[in-house]
Amino acid sequence: MSKSPANYRPETRLVHSGTLRSQYGETSEALFLTQGYVYSSAEECEARFKGEDPGFIYSRYSNPTIAMFERRMIELEGAEAARSAATGMAAVTTAILAPLKAGDHVVASRALFGSCLYVIQDLLPRYGIETTLVDGANLDEWQRALKPNTKTFFLESPTNPTLDVLDIPSIAEIAHSGGARLVVDNVFATPIWQSPLALGADVVVYSATKHIDGQGRCLGGIILSSEAFIAEHVHNFMRQTGPSISPFNAWVLLKGLETLGVRVRAQTDTAARIADVLASHPKIARLVYPGREDHPQAALVKKQMRGGSTLVGFEVKGGKAAAFRVLNELKLAKISNNLGDAKSLVTHPATTTHQRLKPEVRAELGIGEGFIRFSAGLEHADDLIEDLTAALEKA
C-alpha cells in the first residue's frame, strides 16, 4: 500500500503533497487559470452549492491550483486546514480580525512588522477591539495583559528586524490559561526551522511572498490552523470579503515549495557564515544571529527551532551615515525592504520598515540608527562576505 505524502519527511512532502493530476497526467502541477466552473446538470450545481458535492464553485472560494498549494502547506506544517490569501498582510489581518467582535481584547508583542503593528494599534481599536502591546520576551507582561475578554495573542518570532526569539510554548500556555488563542507569524523562521502549531500555537500565518516564493516574483499569504478555526472564522470571512490569492500566484508558490528546503538550508548556512565574520568585525557594534551561542535567547532557539535564520541583524558603528555608506557600497547585496529572496537584500529598518515608529520606540526595540538587516540569498557565501567586508571598510 502506498504511503500518504503526509507520512513522508518534510522534503518529500514539499515535492509531492497536495498534487492533483488532471486527466492528462502532467508531471508538473497544472495552473487552473479559471474564474468559474461548469456543471454537468442543474442538480449537480445545486448539490455543489448545498455542500453535498465537493467540487469547485468559484475561484474566490477555491480553485484546484490554490487547493494544491494549501494542501502542500497543510501537510508541511502539520495543520488540519488552511486558507491562502492575496498577501501576507491579507492572511495576518484575516487571522486576527475574522474571529473578533467589538469588546474583545488582543495582546501582541511590540516587536512586529510595521503593517502588523498598524492592524493591532490603529485598525482594531477603530472597530471597538481593545489592544495591548507587550515586551514579547517578558512572560510576566503577557500574563498581566490577559483579561477576561482577551481572545487573541499575536506574535512573530524571530522578530523583524532584531531577530529576538519569543517563547512560543510558554506564551501559548498563558493564552490558553485565559481561554485565548495564540496566532504566530512564522515568516522569519520559515516552516523549515519552526513549527508553531507543534509548539502549542493555535494559528500560524505566513507571508508566502518571502521564502515560500523565494525568488521575488509574486505576493501571497496563508493561514493554517484547526479545521474548526478555519471553518468557523476564516472560510466564510474570506469567501464573502474576497482577499483571495490568484491561481497564478498560488501556482508560483506551489512550485516554490518544491525547493524551499534546499533554499532555506543554503541561505541559512550563508547567513551563519556572514554572522561569524561580522561578530568579530571592528566596524560592528552589535550582531544578532539566532543560531550563535551569543544570541540573547540561544537556549530558546535550541529548544523551539530546528535551525538558525536566513537573516542577520547588525549595528554598524557610526549610526545612520555609516549604515547608509555600507548600503551604498554593496555591489552584490541589493538595497530592498524585502527578504527571503534568492538575491541577498539589505534593509535599513529605521528609515524604511520601521520609519513610522518614534525614535524612542525604535531605540526600545533595539532598532538603532546604524542597524542593518541582511537577508542572505543564494549567491556564494565567499562573494557575499567579500562584498560586505569591502563595504564595511568605507563605513
Ligand X SMILES: Cc1ncc(COP(=O)(O)O)c(C=O)c1O
- Could you list the residues that contact ligand X (CB under 6 A)? 87-89, 92, 113, 115-116, 156, 160, 185, 187, 207, 209, 219, 221
CB of 58 to ligand X, least distance (A): 24
Sequence letter at residue 147: K
Dihedrals φ, ψ of 236, to 5°? Answer: -70, -40
Count of beta carbons in the 10 Å neighbourhood of residue 40: 7
Report the residue number, 92 or 107, with the smaller CB distance to ligand X.
92
For strands 311-316 and 345-347, give the pairing: unpaired
Residue nearest ligand X, CB atom distance: 88
Q: Which is nearer to ligand X, 283 or 289 (CB)?
A: 289
Shortest spacing between CB 9 and ligand X, in angstroms: 27
Backbone φ, ψ for residue 374 (5° rounding): -110, 120
The pair phi, psi for residue 82, each rounded to 5°, is -155, 155
Q: Shortest Cβ distance from residue 70 to ligand X (Å)?
A: 16
Q: Which is nearer to ligand X, 29 or 185 (CB)?
A: 185
Q: How far apart are CA 381 and CA 383, in angstroms?
A: 5
Between the two ends of the chain, the Cα-to-Cα distance in Å is 62
SS3 268: helix
Cell of 185: 507569524
* Minimum CB–partner distance for residue 43 and ligand X (Å): 41
Nearer to ligand X, 189 or 392 (CB): 189
Closer of 109 and 209 to ligand X (Cβ): 209
User: Cβ contacts of residue 339 below 8 Å, gap of 6+?
Assistant: 210, 310, 311, 345, 347, 373, 375
8 A C-beta contact, residue 89 and residue 138: no
User: Whose Cβ is closer to ligand X: residue 158's or residue 178's?
Assistant: 158
Shortest separation between residue 95's beta carbon and ligand X, angstroms: 11
CB of 140 to ligand X, least distance (A): 25
Say if CB 257 and CB 212 are below 8 A apart: yes
Q: How far is the CB of 239 from ligand X (least distance, A)?
A: 20
Q: Which is nearer to ligand X, 106 or 322 (CB)?
A: 106
